[in-house]
Homo-oligomer: A and B are copies of this chain.
């Protein structure tokens, strides 16, 4: 039987904390009650913290605003590392000109635009502009007609030998306590198997997400990987990725991983967190759960 640790005493041991967003700070009902106390404590103790999230549907500015609206004032945009930011870095470095076709909302596309690049929804690709399409990005599961635009996407990839970027590796995400929704990562995997080409994926558990956050930290001050702890609710993204990058890891039971299956899934997957906590919320008297 796994031991349940006290979250506050864990963060006391590290200088930097990386948090997953969904299932850790918030769920389908909004922010976890009391999560602001955790960030107040981190601020008070002078710890660094970052949100490391497989979310490419919005820019860091918009993501931060959603935390503010929920009452969590501490999170500002430069604390957020998203798979969308890696997509933007990739496009800046590797695609100098032309059009980036995308699947997602118009909003999801705005922040990946840059000086030389124009974004265009797949629905607007036609005979006259297809030859200028130099990359394709899977950004969000909303904002397009699945049947029409996914078929169009398949034929675009068959006709143009261009990089295809998947800005979110998740296959599904929780919608309510009982229902999930297919994520853009699941859709992209289908298209990849239909066209038989290799896509470029950004998102946990891939180490590039952790490296991006680690570089942000080091831009402030030198820090070793052993001084950082990753907090997440999902074994095969947060914990596998954190472990592989060399970080200590905390599995919290407030999201995807349920207390009742804990031993079974850890043994079955072989993915072992350094610590296990009920949640990332520190209780009122500062003692943690």
Contact = CB atoms under 8 A, between A and B. Distances in A.
A270 B206 CA distance: 20
B193 A89 contact: no
A179 B157 CA distance: 11
B200 A211 contact: no
Which of the listed residues A236, A244, A269 has the most CB atoms from chain B within 10 Å of its own CB?
A244
A182 B159 CA distance: 15
Interface in A107-162: 141, 145-147, 150-151, 154-155, 157-159, 161-162
Contact of A182 (B161, B186, B194, B206): B194
A200 B272 CA distance: 12
Interface string A176-207: 00111110001101110111111110000011
A199 to B, nearest CB: 8
A261 to B, nearest CB: 8
A94 interface: yes
Contact of A193 (B90, B171, B199): B171
A210 to B, nearest CB: 9
A225 interface: yes
Contacts of A171: 193-194
Contacts of A191: 182
Interface string A42-79: 00000000000000000000000000000000000000
A204 to B, nearest CB: 12
A-B pairs with the 4 shortest C-beta distances?
Answer: A197-B270, A190-B190, A146-B146, A93-B246
Given A94-B248, A198-B236, 10 more contacts: A141-B147, A151-B181, A155-B180, A159-B178, A161-B266, A161-B272, A162-B270, A164-B270, A197-B270, A200-B240
